[in-house]
Structure 1
Amino acid sequence: SAVDGLLVSGFSGEVWLRPGVTLADAQRKAGLGQLLPNESGGVGLVLGAGNITSIPVLDVLYELIAHNRVSILKINPTQDPLAPVFGRALAPLISLGLLRIVQGGGEVGAALTEHAGIDHVHITGAARTFETVVFGRTATGKRRARPRLSVPITAELGGVSPIIVVPGKWSDADLRFQAEHVATMRLHNSGHNCVAGQVVILSADWAQRERFLAEVEAAMSRAPQRPVWYPGAQARLAEVADEYPGARWSSGHTRAVIEVGTDADPTPMEATEYFVPALGVVTLPGNGQEFLDAAVEYANARLTGTLGANLLIDPDTEAALGDGFEHAVAELRYGTVAINTWTGVAFGIPTMPWGAYPGGTLEDVQSGIGVVHNALLLDDVERGVMRGPFRPFPRSTGALIGPGTFSALPRPPWFVTSPGAADGGRLLTRFRIRPRLTTLLGILESAFRS
């Protein structure tokens, strides 16, 4: 709509289907369960996420609409205080017998996965939790060899998300803005996000590398203080401190920037989804296409998971690379690729699919199996690609006469450095409930004030 075009000005999304899928195939399969509305998908168990409160609601709705499946939603204990809110919000589904909400610890979830009345399981969480659900564990905590789960399972898990910074000639304003962008990818929700940016990949030959890194550290430090609240987070921060004694800390020793050189082993940072405000930095040689191809290969081969990847590139450099840039995007094996935006933005767009890159299995789940959100109900989804403007308004006006993407938005409201984010979020919620011009103007005023 015109309003959406204004609220996310300059942003666009694409859904890529798997190779070999024709337009006729896509049109024939679109609709998923709605193509057979009288065919029940049975009863599904939704094991809700513990970090983002919208996820359990979205997963229940997707199970119902995409798969004709009623659900038992088992709330993560971190969300127990919100159980009455979930109950009120989902009361229409509960009253029709389409949903039941239950609470409890891991033992409740385990009992439900083994219940004869469950036909399918969907989980949002960590790979280790997925393995426990599917295989169970021995008395010593090792994963059992054979699956014990007897029904199909889909999953949205985390990973180590890259932030590939393609070298170019950036202004001081570009350096500062994109540094805040990187800080947002790591610090949103205090880093307790499955798709938080974790490893920044820079070029050793970029003349502005040191200046950009200094801006990133400054942005990480000056962003408003927020509690590091997720269970186990303090222990994970202690792990980071032990593994990387050279890390640079800020905000009361709760945020770390880890520049990995020849004196530190990058393996823990590459293989462990930290889920805390710890940002790694690695350096690869090369400029232009050489660097970009090396960064894509590094991300695909070295970093755990396939959920989301981020690319930052200025308009002139992107234009110079041409088809080589698009080829690099296609080579990234991630369920969501974000260009000059954060993959978390795609999470909030209903028509964008959300999930791991295809290929996860019970034995090697990577970042999950299947997709959610996907309001277009497309089948054979490979990935979503989200594109945003490299520069905010008013600097984006240069795209009206040159390369790049124009945006009417100043600093995006989801930036952790945006002072208007809380007010803007409340106003946007009210606007979606009851669209009014005065509320829309308030949203825009809040955005420009930021």
Structure 2
Amino acid sequence: MAAAHHYLRSAHPAILARRRDRGQPAGPGPRSIAAMPIPVPTPPPPRPATPHADIDAALAVLTERAPAWAALPLDERIGYLRSLLRRTMAEADGLVAESCAAKGIDGVRAGEEWGGNIVTQARTLRILLDTLEGIRRTGRVPLPRNAVRVRPGGQVTVRVFPASVYDRMMYPLTFADIWVDPQVRREGLDDHLGSFYTKGVIPPSRVSLVLGAGNVNSIAPLDVASKMFVEGSTVLLKVARVNEYVGPYIERAFADLIADGFLRVVYGGGADIGEYACRRPEVGHVHLTGSVSTCKSLIWGPGPEGVERESSGRPLLAKGLTGELGNVGPVIVVPGNWSERALRVRAEDVATQILHNDGFNCNACRVLVVAAGWTQRERFLGHLRRVLAAQPPRPAFHPGSEAEYDRYLAAHPAAEPLGQRRPGTLPPAMVSAADPSGDHLAFREEGFIPFIVATALPAESPTDFLGRAVTFCNERLAGTLSSSVIVDRPTARQLGPALDRAVADLRYGAVGINIWGGISFALGSTTWGAYPGHTLEAIGSGIGVVRNARLVDRPEKTVLRAPFTQVVKPPWFVTHRTAHRVLSRAAALDADPHWWRVPGIAWWAARG
């Protein structure tokens, strides 16, 4: 996982900021972190809602310019994408600072904003740029000669990570493969790579509405980029109320595209603005990242009338829809004989999947699946409990989270808050032994809070456990977005083909082996979205994928693999002491790769 360690290494602080860092200590230790005061969130005042007349005017421009964007020559698209990457990095320092202020975080915790925000954008845009430049040179998606493989049974996979020599160096023995729709055979794969760029066709002329997410600030701009550069739409972006402060940064980053009439950005609280735009006839497609309830309201309509429409199968939405709606992000821990260090490190791994962004992530772990007969189970859970309890409290910035937390505590009487609850904060809460046959709220819904439920399955062997765990996750838990499996090397060898079979059987859009499956969100070259098969009537974790900067047209899932043993602590870990230093340097490397950027990243990473 030394490889994955640098994945979130984002950085574009100015040279002066880097000089300021020299000679400073590596960062506060665990005790000083725990003693940090809780910053007070200071989001800017809300922006006025965009008038309906202005939305109509924006849609008129986007409709008029849609044919020009669909037919735009590749050279010009590449020029726009270069400008977008350059402008995004120019805005990075300010966006991170404002994001931290709005969320009430500072110091080492700013690493989350560098990683999940700036690195994610830098990687996705740069790899997409590399893909388009490769298509311009050769007419094909640029992939290494050995990137395409065929699994037993004939399913084709495409290795998309590492995406560069820097990835290979920074993430040794870490890989990501996109598993292609099983209906696509090896001899026909080229017909399913490159989107419209390799097909000799012009994409349909249309306007897409993107309803931005409020929790992670890379989502809205990258959803816009996906609709524009991967699908060929002009875009109307409605910025989420909770993070409206990102809007001006997006407008500056996309300035050239806005100036030429290919993008418009609108604002407004509540559902009115998004609902109004969604129902406009000029909008041909809707994409959102959000909750199942929000999505259902768009599809069927709000209130009792929407419920009646859903029950009778009469959707109000008469246009295409894609979206990512979250899930409970299960982590399966395969029993083995681990060292005390391994127990601790993997507890930090799971704690990160629970607490990153204070639990306000669609890829967060909400359910931990362990073996009832694992002799180290209680020690592992003890390590996890201690790591969770040691993390400093932070403001619960997401609207409604305190009421949600209370609802989950009431539904799970055995839940143990691991820390003192102060006004405006939510200490992580843990259920250590939930009955796997029970009808638990945490199994049925995605709780957007720092809350984890551990459940133990009876099994006669690691192979038996893994099969039962896969069935449990597929059949009992909400969502199909991402999942993770933790397994030590000797046990993986013992499992043999059963491990590959389990990965194949997990019905999730991203599966991580010894790495957080949610990392697929940020690598850029990987896909991010639900497992295929959802419909408007059964929306699940959503429809379609984003990211996918290598333009694999018919993905089934992304599978990530990393070593069980960590050489260097990954900088996205919540226990990392220099994450802000590492990640504030990594984005620069991801956006503009040069060897001279590497030593500074490595120096700070080693002090994490």
Superposition TM-score tier, normalisation by shorter sequence = over 0.9
Alignment of 1:161-310 (within 5 A): 161-253=329-421, 254-262=427-435, 265-286=438-459, 287-310=461-484
Task: State whether residues 62 and 372 of structure 1, in contact with CA within 8 Å, keep that contact through their aligned partners in structure 2.
Answer: yes
Alignment of 1:401-420 (within 5 A): 410-420=568-578
1:373/1:278 Cα in 2 relative to 1: closer, same or farther (>3 Å)?
same
Q: Are residue 44 (structure 1) and residue 208 (structure 2) matched?
A: yes
What amino acid does structure 1 have at the position aligned with 2:277?
A: L
**Residue 407 (structure 1) aligns with:** none
Displacement of 1:200 in angstroms is: 0.4
SS of the equivalent of 1:449 reads coil
Q: Residues 401-428 of structure 1: CA distance to partner in whole angstroms, max 9, x if unpaired?
A: xxxxxxxxx0000001101111111111
| CA distance in 1 between partners of 2:434 and 2:541 (Å) | 27
What amino acid does structure 2 have at the position aligned with 1:225?
A: P
Q: Are residue 30 (structure 1) and residue 193 (structure 2) matched?
A: yes
What amino acid does structure 1 have at the position aligned with 2:558?
A: G
Equivalent residue in structure 1 for 2:276, among 91, 111, 116:
111
**Residue 57 (structure 1) aligns with:** 221
Displacement of 1:10 in angstroms is: 2.6
Displacement of 1:430 in angstroms is: 2.9
Task: State whether residues 208 and 285 of structure 2, in contact with CA within 8 Å, keep that contact through their aligned partners in structure 1.
Answer: yes
Displacement of 1:266 in angstroms is: 4.5
What amino acid does structure 2 have at the position aligned with 1:28?
A: D
SS of the equivalent of 2:352 reads helix
| CA distance in 2 between partners of 1:336 and 1:264 (Å) | 25
Q: Are residue 446 (structure 1) and residue 604 (structure 2) matched?
A: yes
TM-score w.r.t. structure 2 length? 0.69
Task: State whether residues 26 and 378 of structure 1, in contact with CA within 8 Å, keep that contact through their aligned partners in structure 2.
Answer: no
Task: State whether residues 196 and 202 of structure 2, in contact with CA within 8 Å, keep that contact through their aligned partners in structure 1.
Answer: no
Q: Are residue 142 (structure 1) and residue 279 (structure 2) matched?
A: no
Displacement of 1:43 in angstroms is: 0.6
What amino acid does structure 2 have at the position aligned with 1:155?
A: G
Displacement of 1:441 in angstroms is: 1.2
Q: Are residue 345 (structure 1) and residue 519 (structure 2) matched?
A: yes
Displacement of 1:293 in angstroms is: 0.4
| CA distance in 2 between partners of 1:141 and 1:114 (Å) | 15
Displacement of 1:442 in angstroms is: 1.3
Task: State whether residues 33 and 65 of structure 1, in contact with CA within 8 Å, keep that contact through their aligned partners in structure 2.
Answer: no
| CA distance in 2 between partners of 1:420 and 1:92 (Å) | 36
Alignment of 1:351-362 (within 5 A): 351-362=525-536
Identity rate, percent:
37
1:332/1:141 Cα in 2 relative to 1: closer, same or farther (>3 Å)?
same
| CA distance in 2 between partners of 1:371 and 1:436 (Å) | 30
| CA distance in 1 between partners of 2:303 and 2:603 (Å) | 57
| CA distance in 1 between partners of 2:308 and 2:399 (Å) | 22
TM-score w.r.t. structure 1 length? 0.93
**Residue 15 (structure 1) aligns with:** 178
Task: State whether residues 203 and 283 of structure 1, in contact with CA within 8 Å, keep that contact through their aligned partners in structure 2.
Answer: yes
| CA distance in 2 between partners of 1:181 and 1:131 (Å) | 33
Q: Any stretches of 5+ residues in structure 2 without a counterpart?
A: 1-163, 422-426
SS of the equivalent of 1:164 reads strand
What amino acid does structure 2 have at the position aligned with 1:258?
A: V
1:36/1:75 Cα in 2 relative to 1: closer, same or farther (>3 Å)?
farther
Q: Residues 251-303 of structure 1: CA distance to partner in whole angstroms, max 9, x if unpaired?
A: 32321011234599452110010111001100101131101100000000000
What amino acid does structure 2 have at the position aligned with 1:446?
A: W
Displacement of 1:226 in angstroms is: 2.6
**Residue 400 (structure 1) aligns with:** none
Task: State whether residues 322 and 542 of structure 2, in contact with CA within 8 Å, keep that contact through their aligned partners in structure 1.
Answer: yes
What amino acid does structure 1 have at the position aligned with 2:343?
A: L
SS of the equivalent of 1:440 reads helix
Task: State whether residues 483 and 518 of structure 2, in contact with CA within 8 Å, keep that contact through their aligned partners in structure 1.
Answer: no
Task: State whether residues 166 and 312 of structure 1, in contact with CA within 8 Å, keep that contact through their aligned partners in structure 2.
Answer: yes
| CA distance in 1 between partners of 2:304 and 2:386 (Å) | 46
What amino acid does structure 1 have at the position aligned with 2:346?
A: Q
| CA distance in 2 between partners of 1:413 and 1:37 (Å) | 42
SS of the equivalent of 1:197 reads coil
Task: State whether residues 200 and 280 of structure 1, in contact with CA within 8 Å, keep that contact through their aligned partners in structure 2.
Answer: yes
| CA distance in 2 between partners of 1:321 and 1:432 (Å) | 36
Displacement of 1:227 in angstroms is: 2.0
Q: Are residue 75 (structure 1) and residue 239 (structure 2) matched?
A: yes
| CA distance in 2 between partners of 1:305 and 1:434 (Å) | 36
**Residue 372 (structure 1) aligns with:** 546
Displacement of 1:36 in angstroms is: 4.5
How many equivalent pairs are there?
Answer: 434
Task: State whether residues 157 and 367 of structure 1, in contact with CA within 8 Å, keep that contact through their aligned partners in structure 2.
Answer: yes
SS of the equivalent of 2:244 reads helix
| CA distance in 2 between partners of 1:383 and 1:435 (Å) | 28
Query: Comparing both structures, which one devotes a greater share of its residues to helix?
Result: 2
| CA distance in 1 between partners of 2:507 and 2:351 (Å) | 23
Q: Residues 297-354 of structure 1: CA distance to partner in whole angstroms, max 9, x if unpaired?
A: 0000000110011100000000011001111111111110010000121111111111
Over the aligned positions, Cα root-mean-square deviation in angstroms equals 1.7
Structure having greater relative contact order (Cα 8 Å, sep ≥ 6): 2
Q: Any stretches of 5+ residues in structure 1 without a counterpart?
A: 394-409
Q: Residues 127-181 of structure 1: CA distance to partner in whole angstroms, max 9, x if unpaired?
A: 1111001110235773633111111111111111110000000000000000000
SS of the equivalent of 1:320 reads helix
Q: Residues 95-153 of structure 1: CA distance to partner in whole angstroms, max 9, x if unpaired?
A: 22111111112100000111111111111111111100111023577363311111111
Q: Are residue 384 (structure 1) and residue 384 (structure 2) matched?
A: no
**Residue 427 (structure 1) aligns with:** 585
Q: Which moved more, 1:217-226 or 1:331-340?
A: 217-226
SS of the equivalent of 1:176 reads helix
Equivalent residue in structure 2 for 1:88, among 230, 252, 255:
252
Q: Residues 220-271 of structure 1: CA distance to partner in whole angstroms, max 9, x if unpaired?
A: 1113433221111101110121112221112323210112345994521100
SS of the equivalent of 1:71 reads strand
Higher alpha-carbon Rg: 2
What amino acid does structure 2 have at the position aligned with 1:115?
A: R
